[in-house]
Chains A and B, each alone.
Chain A
Amino acid sequence: MKARRKEEGRWAWRLTGFVTVCVYIFMFAPIVATVILSFNASMFGGFPMTGFSLQWYGKLMANEPVLAAFRTSLWIALVTAGVTTVIGVVTSFALVRFEFRGKQALSTLVILPALVPETILGVGLLVLIKAVDQPRTMLLLVLGHILLAVPYVVLITQARMVGIRRVYEEAALSLGASRFSSFREITLPLLIPAVVGGALLAFTISFDNTSASLFWRPAGVETMPTQILSMLKISISPEINALGTVMILVTVGIPLLGGLILQSLTRLKRRDEPKEETR
């Protein structure tokens, strides 16, 4: 009886394991394939592998349009991350700490861009720009990316801000810190995990964005995703696999790195203090 139940349990575990592995394969196989194929020596961007080679990366390094697109994407993402984080922190501070008319409406409106399909948003902004007769500029592209990233950053910082009790700020004020000082010394440091998380997310959102960028980019300007798209129109070159690998590295690596740095910072801080039992 007991043995049978044990047997059943084992099968349940095996099934769970099998399903899990399948899901992971489904999720990561395309990524792994891209990475592996980027080292393929073959002229064609597909299996079978004919040998190991770094030539596609070399080609990439010499491909001026690709490098330009990379630089464009990088600085757009950085600006987006910076501006969005500031907007996010200020907005969530206002939404959590103050009571004002239309607060509910504002808090809904601020996350709306995340709910509207990107294509609609892309067309909408374009139509607006045309209506006021303005050219498509880099500024428009950056503003668009900020628009896309703000909701996520607000959501992240807001969740953290709710957890920071007001009494800390009150204590700081009572001790003589001005409102700005108490924000800088108390609220902001306690908010840092959300600030870093928000900035990284904003960076990836901007760096990855394809559909909206297609609408907004000025003539002749390519971001990484749009560059890949236009390359794909011509041929499936193994160079694209290399480019894809670089993209994966940046969009996965940067948040991962940020998280690790944050984690080690807190861990270091904790190790500094002597552990002592409370009486």
Chain B
Amino acid sequence: MPDRNDLSEVPRPVAAGVARPGAGAPAPSGGIGAGQPAVEFRDIDIAYGKFVAVRDFSLSIAKGSFVTLLGPSGCGKTTILRSIAGLVDISGGQIMIDGRRVDDVPIYKRNIGLVFQSYALFPHKNVFDNVAFGLKYRNVPKPEIVRKVGQALEMVRLPGSEKKLPSQLSGGQQQRIALARAIVFEPQVLLLDEPLSALDANMREEMRVEIKKIQKETGITAIFVTHDQEEALSMSDRIVVMNAGAVEQIGTPQEVYETPATAFVADFLGKANMLAGTVSRSGQAMAVVLATGQTVEVACPRPLAQGSKVTVVLRPQKLSVGAAASANRLSGRVVSASYLGGSAIYEIDIGGKTSIRANAPITGRVLREGETIDVGFDPEGCVLLDEDGQRIS
């Protein structure tokens, strides 16, 4: 499999999304995902006046997959979503939906389902009229509309709510109706613009599962926009991590989390520890002198010249604490400890004004602030970034 994470140069079209949602590893081409991608971006540029919101964005999304655009606010993810819908004009490139170029197709002829952060249910229409809206404009006969609306409400687990007004529903219920409204006419793509952000925490968790389930059942291609890494990791077949209008990395949740392509991805997803250092011994088991003075041994995919500057990226979960720390022992002092039940998060000062975060399973007692403790990590358990913040591979 070609390395899809290497985006050190201009991002090229990458097949994001796997054929069968839920499959652990990307499936080889073939099966349902073969043939035309559901949505394809070719070198998209989007500018508002002089401000370039998105530049050179290319992406190809397989049919039936669940792809998430993840990034901080203002990174251009919503702009891209709106460009698929036709709510934003692109200034360069092409957008294809099912192989058809849609740049000049007005929004109401694009056949896409759109779910908004603020639900956007028509306040003066009841649930039935809201859900039936898209069918009505597709000239579906009345009995068929009634049947399909019933089915859709069944699917979002709100059967019999046809006569209610949106104002009589809770936030979660409104978002379910909005989802039903967006999928009832079987659009080619379902676009979800931060649909969970307006909900409270419990409801968010529930809806996350619900949306994913409905997407699998219907086999619809879904593009999901969020700034919440947890949502992205738990729901997606593929994640597109974006920053400042450009793609940072495209990959499965596991790929993106475990082998971040850039310093930005490492930091944005899960707040990895990043330790600067210099290569002191080249070779398979390379040695790096950290800025804090300690020397650690790390596995490197290719030999680096002695004296190269690198950043060692360590996930908090990859660090072992206390007696469990075998390789690469660094001694430090606990600055803070948060008990999470099954594990604890420690912030450990390893000298040189550097502290690292470790998420360790609890064996015995929980460490207290001020205790001296060893932390260690496996030479294979880290990712190396070069001076420009790109992953060395």
Please list the residues of chain A having a beta carbon within 8 angstroms of any beta carbon in chain B.
165, 167-168, 170-179, 181-182, 186, 189-190, 273-276, 278-279
Contact = CB atoms under 8 A, between A and B. Distances in A.
Contacts of A175: 108, 114, 133-134, 137, 181-182, 185
Contact of B120 (A167, A177, A178): A167
B372 interface: no
Contacts of B163: 273-274
Contact of B137 (A165, A181, A273, A275): A181
B170 A176 contact: no
A175 to B, nearest CB: 4
B221 to A, nearest CB: 15
13 contacts: A170-B107, A172-B122, A174-B108, A174-B113, A176-B137, A179-B108, A182-B108, A190-B123, A273-B126, A273-B163, A273-B165, A273-B168, A279-B173
Interface string B137-171: 11000000000000000000000000111001110
A189 B165 CA distance: 15
A176 B185 contact: yes
Interface of B: 85-87, 106-114, 116, 118, 120-124, 126, 133-134, 137-138, 163-165, 168-170, 173, 181-182, 185
Contacts of A178: 108
Given A273-B168, A274-B163, A278-B173, A176 B134 contact: yes
B168 A276 contact: yes
A172 B173 contact: no
Contacts of A172: 122, 133
Given A171-B122, A274-B163, A177 B108 contact: yes
Contacts of A167: 116, 118, 120
A163 to B, nearest CB: 11
B114 to A, nearest CB: 4
Contacts of A176: 108-109, 111, 134, 137-138, 185
Most A CB contacts (10 A, CB to CB) among B114, B138, B169 go to B114
Nearest to A176: B137
Contacts of B134: 175-176
A278 B165 CA distance: 12
B226 to A, nearest CB: 18
Which secondary structure dominates where chain B touches chain A? Answer: loop
Given A171-B120, A179-B108, 17 more contacts: A165-B120, A167-B116, A168-B120, A168-B122, A170-B116, A170-B120, A173-B87, A174-B87, A174-B110, A175-B133, A176-B137, A178-B108, A181-B137, A273-B126, A273-B165, A278-B168, A278-B170
Contact of A165 (B85, B111, B118, B170): B118
A116 to B, nearest CB: 36
Given A273-B163, A278-B170, A279-B173, A177 B122 contact: no
A173 B110 CA distance: 10
A249 to B, nearest CB: 33
Contacts of A276: 164, 168
Interface centre among A167, A176, A189, A276 (most CB of B within 10 A): A176
Contact of A177 (B110, B133, B164, B173): B133
Contact of A174 (B107, B118, B138, B169): B107
A265 B59 CA distance: 51
A28 B124 CA distance: 39
A8 B130 CA distance: 58
A272 B378 CA distance: 67
A186 B123 CA distance: 9
A174 B137 contact: no
Contacts of A186: 122
Nearest to A169: B120
Contact of A170 (B87, B110, B138, B165): B87
Contacts of A170: 85, 87, 107, 114, 116, 120
Contacts of B85: 170, 174
B169 A278 contact: yes
A276 B170 CA distance: 11
Q: Give me the 8 closest cross-chain CB pairs, A-B, nearest first.
A: A176-B137, A175-B134, A174-B114, A278-B170, A167-B120, A171-B120, A173-B107, A175-B133
A177 to B, nearest CB: 5
A190 B86 CA distance: 24
A172 to B, nearest CB: 7
A190 B123 CA distance: 8
Nearest to A275: B168
Contacts of B108: 173-179, 182
A135 B57 CA distance: 65
A189 B124 contact: yes
